[in-house]
Structure formats: C-alpha cells, structure tokens
Amino acid sequence: MECCRRATPGTLLLFLAFLLLSSRTARSEEDRDGLWDAWGPWSECSRTCGGGASYSLRRCLSSKSCEGRNIRYRTCSNVDCPPEAGDFRAQQCSAHNDVKHHGQFYEWLPVSNDPDNPCSLKCQAKGTALVVELAPKVLDGTRCYTESLDMCISGLCQIVGCDHQLGSTVKEDNCGVCNGDGSTCRLVRGQYKSQLSATKSDDAVVAIPYGSRHVRLVLKGPDHLYLETKTLQGAKGENSLSSTGTFLVDNSSVDFQKFPDKEILRMAGPLTADFIVKIRNSGSSDSTVQFIFYQPIIHRWRETDFFPCSATCGGGYQLTSAECYDLRSNRVVADQYCHYYPENIKPKPKLQECNLDPCPASDGYKQIMPYDLYHPLPRWEATPWTACSSSCGGGIQSRAVSCVEEDIQGHVTSVEEWKCMYTPKMPIAQPCNIFDCPKWLAQEWSPCTVTCGQGLRYRVVLCIDHRGMHTGGCSPKTKPHIKEECIIPTPCYKPKEKLPVEAKLPWFKQAQELEEGAAVSEEPSFIPEAWSACTVTCGVGTQVRIVRCQVLLSFSQSVADLPVDECEGPKPASQRACYAGPCSGEIPEFNPDETDGLFGGLQDFDELYDWEYEGFTKCSESCGGGVQEAVVSCLNKQTQEPADENLCVTSRRPPQLLKSCNLDPCPARSSIDSAWKACKVLC
C-alpha cells in the first residue's frame, strides 16, 4: 500500500490508460467476428452432378470495414454425371454456337488445360485454328484441368482434395483409395520377350485383372500390340489398336501411340474388365515388352466370428479364425488365394471363455411312446433296426419285416405277405451314420509367450464332429500336439537363461484342460478325471485324480471300465505337486481375473526346487584308478533341504558327471597279477 500512496497522479493516469488499451486489444481479438452478421443460407449448387460449388454470404454490421471475407464456398453435387451429360466446359462453349462471332456462326469446342489461365472459357472453332476467349470466367464448379478435381470458383482455381473438400490436400494412393496407404494393391512390373515361331502368329504378354490402375506398356520391335477383354459378366471383346488415338474399350479409356519402332499403351484405370495384352508376330525379329501396373488385391483375410463353445455349460472355450474373402464376388474362397499376396497378413486367432454357468443337475427324462390297441387290418411289422455297421462315415443297418394280424384279444400272429400288399412294404435296409467321422481340428498358434529368447506357443486342438461341435471319438494317436517351443530372435538381457516360460491364463488353463480332458472313444484309452483340490492352502502340496481305462461301446453308446493292461501307452499321472502361493501369515485371496498373479506363482513354484550336485559316490577302485559319480539331488532352494524328485523339473536334471579317483598304483602281488598294468582309459 505504501507504493500506491507514493505514486504521482501522472503515473496513475498512464497506468489506467495502459489497462484500457490492453482491454480493448483483447476484446477486439475475441470479437473480431462480432462485427459480422451471422452467415446466411447456402446457395443452390452450381451443378447437379460432377462436383459444383455453393456459397454463403454475411453482412458487415460495422460502419467501418470488417476484417475477413463476406463470402465462403463449399463443394456440392459430388456424384458422377451420366455418360450422356458430356463435359461441363464443352457445354459452356456450345452455348455460344448460336451467337455470331465477327458476323459468322461457329461450332465451338473446349480448349482445356490452359496453363496461364485455366479458369477462362477458351474455345476453338471446329475445323479451324481459331481460338477465342468467349468468357473471362467459366461457371463455378468447372474443373481447372481434365485430370484434376481442382475447380474454378469466381474465376480462380481452388484446390480440391479427393475427399471433395475445398482446400483439402488429401490425395488418392496408387490403389485409388482416398488418403490410403497403398495396402490394397500391389505393383506388378516385368518384361516379356517374344518367341518367334512359324506356327505361332500371336502370343500373350500379360493378363491385367479388373480394377487395375496406372497401366503402361512399351513394345520395342516390329511386332504389334492388341487387346482381348472379358467382363465380369463373361462378355468377350478384342481391339486391334491399329492407329494412334484414345479409345474406349469396355468402358475403359485406352491411350495408344504407334511409332515406327515402338508402341506405347497407357490405361489410367480402374479397368472395368479383365485385359489380356497380346502381340502379333511380324516374323522379322524379336520384340520386347516392358509393363508396369498396380493390381488390386482382390482376396483378403477377414476374421470370423467366434466358433461354437466347446461346452454347453460349466465353462468352455471358443476361438476365432480367419477366412479368405473375394472382394469381387463377395464370397469366401480357398485359403490359397490369400497366400498369393505377401501383403496379406493372416490375423491371429482370439480365444475367450464361454458358457460359464454351472451345469444343472438332471435326472433324465422318460419318453412316452404311443401305442395302438387294435388294428382291424393286417399290417407290416418290423423288428428294431440292427446296430449300424459303422459309427460314422456311412454304414448299413437292417431289420426283419413281416405281415402280421391281430385279433380282438390282442394276439398277434404272422400271416401271408399278400394280405399286407394293400400298403407298401417297409424297407429292410437303410444307410446310417452317413455323417463324417469326428476329426482333429487344430487352430492357429498363439503368439509366443515371451518377447525375447525362448518361449512356448499354444494352439487349441479340438475333436470336432460333423456339426462342428466339440466331441469325442478321435484317435489319440493322431492328435496334433498343442504346444511347442518358439524362439524370438530378439536377445534377452538377463543374467541367466531360463527354460521356456509357460503361458498365462487362459492359454495355460486351456492347454492343461485339453491335454487332460480326453474323451472316451471306441479304442481302449486312459481317461483321467479332474484333479482334486490342492492339499494345502499355501506353499507346496499335492493333487490326486482317478485314471481309468475305459472304452465306448458303440452299440449301446455306454462307457465300460477295462483292466489297466487293456489300454496302450503310458498311464497319465494320478498325483502331482501343486503350489498355492507363498505362506506369509495371511492367505491371499485368489482372483481368477488376476492372471498375472497366478502366472507369477507358477514361476515361483518352478524356481523353488532345483537339481544340485551333492558330493560323489565312493570310488569304484581302491587303487590303480577308479571312477566316482556325482550325486544329483532335488533341493528346496530356500532351505537347501532334500525334496521329492517329482517337485523338480525332469528336463532340467543336470547331466551325469564322472571323475577319476585312487590313481596310485596298487602294491605288487604274485607274478600273474604283476603282469597287469593300469587301464589306459578311465571310462
């Protein structure tokens, strides 16, 4: 407050003037448009098609001039004109046909692409060299140049992007996609050399498919180019290209130049048919053809919806896949078509859990069958069908059919067949189980479980029946493996190498369940039940399960237990170690969504026990050279106490280690013994 008291009146006056000037400056910047009235409505478009211009006006509300423009433009009617509409600049020239020029009528043709003034209306009198500027400005919306979207507005050429917006610099890529990245087409270039032959008058150079762009061919030599076309509707055509000019071939513009020693063919595209460029041999000497064009990628991968769930309740899994799609015919085609284009990257499969609701308890149900009590007429009666001769893939079943008669008391007796001939006899054989047999379906591999070094990758292998449902019945011997090692070439900067890292959920969980959840088949096989809960709530415990040898009886569709020796192959383990997290006084709650926590627990369990060398066995000889073998034990790395060998990873067990011992010569014995010398090698 002292400084304010000491300030002179002149100083205060200057300070207040500064504040006032600052306030006016800020307000004038904020309210610069406040001096204008609101923009008016947009005018009618200058054209009805082919891209025109529309304008909007505003009034200046100030007595002085306003800063800025009182008119603004936008594009409109950005739809192609019908072919019969003709060129917009040509229409403006022809409007002067009925106006005399220097006392004479002329038919005026447009003069396009004037580099000096592209927005003036210059026209040429037909059949003469007379070029006249008939108007200083063309109508708004007229193209500045024939091969550009830029348009004339109020006599000035304005930039128009491929998005049809004024002032936009967005352009089409080589594939014809506005603001595209060039990924929807591929560059094709090559050279062809004609092969002269007395019996061969023409030869195909290259096939250029529908939709291709920026086509250019140069023939050097005495031969001649010609075109064959085939539309998507199957109509065929041919053009001999006998003279220089621009031609319309199946609605595609073809620019052809013919010189004494070469021919040049250009097509901007996109082509509206499949073109086959051919040459006619002149016979004098060989010719070469160089060609280049951008070919559309008409087959592309697309991701499918999720497959049906592997279980109807109790938790299952479903995957997506990828299918090859034909963009021209809008249908799915064989995968091999998408493999033709290295630019196509097949999407990786996605996996999700499904049908997580618990399965309801069921007591089954009884089916009530109708039964007729009395049949006054003889009838055909059939025995039940026999079991199908094959459980899938097509079989035969049969039955016996006889003519019977029933009296009023309900007694049924067999009678002659002629008594039943008033109705057709029922068939005695029929095909059965004509659906395809279940087969293994291996999905795409998952990404590697690591970002560097060695890891694992997984895939889902399902036994799929003819309905696409997860079922049993596939041979375990032909089941593809569900996990394999993978190596990421990026080096890992870690102090020590580890074994391949197991996958996180749900891949890890799925791999376990699919490996262990075997389905009963008609071949005797080991069927393990689910693992029991871990015997401890923290630390290391054990889990047990029952493993049965079972077989599916096809005739009754029931499962029977067999002696263990009836099943081939190794019996799955019925006991294993489990790790329930670290013991730290409180039991941490397990959240199934926290997959990283479980993953970390699996790693901790993997590193809690390891193999170590513990001394050597007694020397095999007391003198003259013997051998000792290193003792390998499974130890708890925290307590260094011995542990069950099942807790250590078998693949990490160190190799056998031997060393020599008691190398001193043995004392002299009898003459026979003294003849022996020490062995030259230890092992």
Give the mean pLDDT of 553-559: 62
Check whether 231 has a pLDDT greater than 50.
Answer: yes
Q: Write the pLDDT tens digit of every residue in 311-325.
A: 778 777 677 778 888
CA–CA gap between residue 489 and residue 87 (Å, rounded): 60
Q: Which two tokens stand for residue 46?
A: 């200058």
Give the mean pLDDT of 624-628: 80
Dihedral pair phi/psi, residue 36, rounded to 5°: -100, 150
Taking each continuous run of H as one helix and of E as one strand, the counts in the chain are 7, 39
Report yes or no: 556 and 599 within 8 Å, Cβ to Cβ.
no
Q: Point out which residues pair with 326 in neighbouring strands.
A: 299, 331
User: Where residue 590 falls among pLDDT bands split at 50, 70, 90?
Assistant: very low
CA–CA gap between residue 626 and residue 620 (Å, rounded): 5
* Residue 508: predicted pLDDT: 44
* Residue 290: predicted pLDDT: 87
Q: Which two tokens stand for residue 644?
A: 């069950």
Got the DSSP string for 362-395?
-----PPPP--S--SS-EEEEPPPPPPS-SSS-E
Looking only at the bridges linking them, the beta strands covering 121-125 and 108-110 are antiparallel
CA–CA gap between residue 55 and residue 634 (Å, rounded): 86
Report yes or no: 401 and 444 within 8 Å, Cβ to Cβ.
no
* Residue 123: predicted pLDDT: 92
* Residue 623: predicted pLDDT: 85
Q: Which two tokens stand for residue 538?
A: 């923290």
CA–CA gap between residue 49 and residue 143 (Å, rounded): 12
Check whether 49 has a pLDDT greater than 80.
Answer: yes
Give the mean pLDDT of 583-594: 46
* Residue 558: predicted pLDDT: 66
CA separation, residue 286 to residues 200, 258, 279, 290, 352 (Å):
13, 18, 11, 14, 62
| CATH classification (class only), 37-170 | mainly beta
Choice among 7-16, 104-113, 155-164 with the minimum mean pLDDT: 7-16
Give the mean pLDDT of 146-161: 86
Q: Write the pLDDT tens digit of every residue in 629-644.
A: 888 888 887 777 888 8
* Residue 408: predicted pLDDT: 67
Q: Which long-range contacts (CB under 8 A, 24 or more apart) does 34-41 make?
A: 35/60, 35/61, 35/62, 35/66, 35/67, 36/60, 36/61, 36/66, 36/68, 36/70, 37/61, 39/72
Give the mean pLDDT of 114-118: 86
Give the mean pLDDT of 595-616: 57
* Residue 555: predicted pLDDT: 53
Measure the CA angle with vertex 597, ends 593 and 603; round to 5°.
Answer: 135
- State pTM to two decimals: 0.40
User: Where residue 401 falls among pLDDT bands split at 50, 70, 90?
Assistant: very high
* Residue 237: predicted pLDDT: 79
Q: Which two tokens stand for residue 443?
A: 């999905």
Got the DSSP string for 430-447?
EEE--SPPPEEEE-PPPP
* Residue 677: predicted pLDDT: 59
Most trustworthy range by pLDDT among 281-290, 360-369, 380-389, 452-461 = 380-389
* Residue 406: predicted pLDDT: 78
* Residue 24: predicted pLDDT: 46
Check whether 34 has a pLDDT greater than 90.
Answer: no
Check whether 29 has a pLDDT greater than 80.
Answer: no
Q: Where are the alpha helices (DSSP H) in 455-614?
A: 507-516, 595-608
User: How large a percentage of the chain has pLDDT more than 90?
Assistant: 3
Check whether 13 has a pLDDT greater than 80.
Answer: no
User: Where residue 669 falls among pLDDT bands split at 50, 70, 90?
Assistant: low
- Beta-carbon count within 10 A of 280 CB: 14
Helix (H, G, I), strand (E, B), or coil: what is residue 603? Answer: helix
Task: Indicate where the chain has its CATH 2.20.100.10 domain(s).
Answer: 37-170
Strands (E), 84-212: 108-110, 121-125, 131-135, 151-153, 156-158, 185-193, 202-208
* Residue 680: predicted pLDDT: 61
CA–CA gap between residue 81 and residue 70 (Å, rounded): 31
* Residue 2: predicted pLDDT: 40
Check whether 398 has a pLDDT greater than 90.
Answer: yes
Q: First CA to last CA across the chain, in angstroms?
A: 103
What SS3 string covers 76-92? ECCCCCCHHHCCHHHHH
Choice among 162-171, 595-604, 606-615 with the minimum mean pLDDT: 595-604
* Residue 318: predicted pLDDT: 74
The DSSP element (H or E) to which 17 belongs, if any, is helix 9-30
Task: Please give the CATH architecture assigned to the domain spanning 183-296.
Answer: Sandwich (2.60)
* Residue 11: predicted pLDDT: 45
* Residue 383: predicted pLDDT: 92
User: Which CATH code fits 437-486?
Assistant: 2.20.100
- Beta-carbon count within 10 A of 217 CB: 22
* Residue 33: predicted pLDDT: 56
Q: Write the pLDDT tens digit of every residue in 283-307.
A: 667 788 888 888 888 888 888 888 7
CA 560, 564, 565, 568 torsion: positive or negative? positive
* Residue 198 or 251, more confident: 251
Most trustworthy range by pLDDT among 548-552, 603-607, 635-639, 654-658 = 548-552
* Residue 32: predicted pLDDT: 55
CA separation, residue 478 to residues 441, 484, 529 (Å):
11, 17, 22
* Residue 604: predicted pLDDT: 44
Choice among 23-27, 386-390, 557-561, 566-570 with the minimum mean pLDDT: 23-27
Please provide the average confidence, as pLDDT, over all residues in the chain: 76
* Residue 358: predicted pLDDT: 82
* Residue 551 or 387, more confident: 387
Q: Which two tokens stand for residue 605?
A: 């369990």
CA separation, residue 138 to residues 105, 144, 432 (Å):
21, 9, 80
Task: Indicate where the chain has its CATH 2.60.120.830 domain(s).
Answer: 183-296
Of 391, 373, 324, nearest to 553 (Cα)?
391
Choice among 52-66, 112-126, 144-158, 548-562 with the minimum mean pLDDT: 548-562
Q: Write the pLDDT tens digit of every residue in 340-361.
A: 777 778 887 777 778 888 877 6
User: Where residue 35 falls among pLDDT bands split at 50, 70, 90?
Assistant: confident
